[in-house]
Amino acid sequence: MKSRKETLAERDDGDGADRDLVRMALAGGSDALDTLVRRHQGFIYGIAVRMLWDPRDAEDVTQEVLIRIVTGLSSFRGDSAFRTWAYRVAVNHVLNCRRSLAEAVAADPKLLGGKKTSDPADLDVADEAATDAEKRLLAEETRIACLSGMLLCLDRAQRLTFILGEIFEVGDVLGGEILGITRENYRQRLARARQQLYGFMGGKCGLADPANPCRCARKTRGFIRAGIVDPRNLRFIGSRVAQIERSAEERSHALERVICAGYAHLFRDQDRREPPDLVAGLRTLLSDQRFRGALDLDGEVSVPTSHHPREQRGRSMATVEDYTSGRLHAEAKALLSLLKDSEESLAGSPVGKAILEKVEGFDPVLLEPEEAARVIFASTRCAVAERMCLGIYPHAEFSESILLDDLADALVAAGKARSTTKEEAVATLEKYKRSPKVLSKVSGKPGELCCTLPEVCIYWNMERRGLPCIRRNSSDEDVRRGE
């Protein structure tokens, strides 16, 4: 692990990078400004939190310093390293900010182990009802609060010198530059700060000398009464508590997995029964004429009327009558049932080929939203209806289909759709931005523009079963009204 001295040296070596970032930031580069701030905000906050004691006050002061640096960036002339200039702005601001409440509280010697108190409660632990873990956390909060408070016993100039020289290990050259004093003055001020602080601790603090009477656990209750430690709002070890909570949650999940694995083993340990042979039943189902007719496995479908043109250039063609007669709904339900019941690929199988032939007449094509809008404006009439799949999956997320021309007229007349303007139809597309738009031909021309739901759509279920049926390369013909 790198020491603080090495870290500061690296910062010094990085002055060229700082200057480049300053140059780019002044030219309007926001990313460069962000990088520059992040390079130095940690050091500035470290100074502020040790000078002011309260982490929340330190955050506010750090933000104020960073604002001064950012807004005064144009005043950096490059006479010194940028780091030196920025830290000088920081220490001047910290030295001159108003006296904090923590500095006033630190003047009470009995709270920081000075004079002996006559109140026996000051020598009691925080809460006898608290768990050992809670007591240890409160004692740790007290320890950090007390050590930080001891720094406040120094005047601001000595405190800042001690923080730079003893905690951040800043040498006399850089320290003198930051504080605007000579190297000799920096060393003398640091020596006086050490002597005063360490002399105080050596006679009082149990951490410095086990023979001393003051103990963090014994000061906790007094710190709580004085408002220095708040059990409900820990200032100094909040991150440690969060870490403990995360660790506890992870261990809880691990224990839950072990317990669940034990229960699951009870079921897995049973004799595994052999599955029944379903081949014969499947053959019977496929030979059933009603099932075959619903899927059009033989290439012929009986219709309620004698006149039903189904052939176009030698292949089946979806018609308006398929929609109005209810045939399409029944066939779609059967197709989806078959697709949902199979997990493996149907590519190349007789059933797969029959299903592909079944939807071939619809010639589905995937459109971009702009292409779909052009299809709508190229039509003569529009209507909107609930997607057919909703009748099969009533709990599916709501979606709609846009019907065009003859199909729109027929379903409006049948009470299954409502007429709409082209503008309203395009607005319907916008309602389902995340849904793929698939155009199907009906009676040989664009008829249904569907905002599909892939999990319940026949086309997408076919794709998942290895039966590609949706064209991705739309042509001008797809976005023109078919004649």
Nearest-angstrom CA–CA distance, 43 and 401: 60
Q: What's the pLDDT at 312?
A: 39
Mean pLDDT score of the chain: 75
**What are the structural domains, with CATH classification, of the chain?**
4-240 (1.10.1740.10), 282-479 (no CATH)
pLDDT number for residue 232: 67
CA dihedral 384, 390, 392, 397 (to 10 degrees): 160
> Under DSSP, is residue 384 helix (H, G, I), strand (E, B) or coil?
strand
Cα gap 133→408, rounded to integer Å: 72
CB atoms within 10 A of CB 364: 22
In the chain, DSSP finds a helix count (H) and a strand count (E) of 21, 8
Under the banding of pLDDT at 50, 70 and 90, the label for residue 311 is very low
Angle at 162 between CA 195 and CA 78, to 5 degrees: 145
pLDDT of residue 196: 85
For residue 420, list its beta bridge partners. 382
**CA 142: distance to chain centroid?**
35
How high is the pLDDT of residue 288? 65
Coil, strand or helix: which one is 449?
strand
Query: 99 pLDDT band (50/70/90 cuts)?
Result: confident
Does position 296 have pLDDT exceeding 80, yes or no? no
% the chain with pLDDT above 90: 15
Pairs from 346-350 (Cβ < 8 Å, separation ≥ 24): 346/465, 346/466, 346/467, 347/465, 347/466, 347/467
Does pTM top 0.85 for this prediction? no
State the average pLDDT over residues 5-10.
41
pLDDT tens readout for residues 421-469: 989 988 888 888 888 888 988 888 898 888 887 777 888 888 888 888 8
**Cα–Cα separations (whole angstroms), residue 86 to 30, 37, 76, 80, 189:** 18, 10, 9, 10, 22
What does the alpha-carbon distance between residue 234 and residue 239 come to, in Å, rounded to a whole number? 9
pLDDT surpasses 50 at 269: yes
Mean pLDDT across 361-376: 89
Q: Let me know if 356 is exposed, middle or buried by CB neighbors in 10 A (0-12, 13-18, 19+).
A: middle
Q: Given this model, what pLDDT does residue 404 score?
A: 92
The rounded distance, in Å, linking the Cα atoms of 264 and 258 is: 10
pLDDT in tens, 167-176: 899 999 999 9
Separation between Cα atoms, residue 233 and residue 141, nearest integer Å: 10
Q: Which residue has the higher pLDDT, 174 or 355?
A: 174
More confident residue, 253 or 403: 403
Asked if residue 315 has pLDDT above 60, the reply is no
pLDDT at 45 over 50: yes
Task: Work out the angle at residue 322's Cα, subtended by the Cα atoms of residues 316 and 326, and round it to the nearest 5 degrees.
Answer: 145
pLDDT of 408 higher than 80: yes
Q: How far is CA 31 from CA 27, 34, 65, 85, 181, in A?
A: 11, 5, 19, 21, 35
pLDDT in tens, 122-169: 444 444 445 566 667 776 776 776 777 778 778 889 889 999 998 899
**Measured distance CA(255)–CA(322) in Å, rounded:** 58
Residue 328: both structure tokens together = 């399409």
pLDDT at 351 over 70: yes
Q: Is the pLDDT at 181 greater than 80, yes or no?
A: yes
In one letter, which amino acid is 350? P
Mean pLDDT of 465-483: 67
Opening angle at CA 303, ends 301 and 308, nearest 5: 95
Contacts of 301 (CB under 8 A, 6+ apart): 293, 310, 327, 331
Residue 65 binned pLDDT confidence (cut-offs 50, 70, 90): very high
18, 82 Cβ separation under 8 angstroms: yes
pLDDT band, very low/low/confident/very high, at 195 (cuts 50, 70, 90): confident
Q: How far apart are CA 195 and CA 201, in angstroms?
A: 10
Q: Is the pLDDT of residue 418 over 70?
A: yes
Question: Quick one: pLDDT at residue 251?
Answer: 76
Residue 362: predicted pLDDT: 86
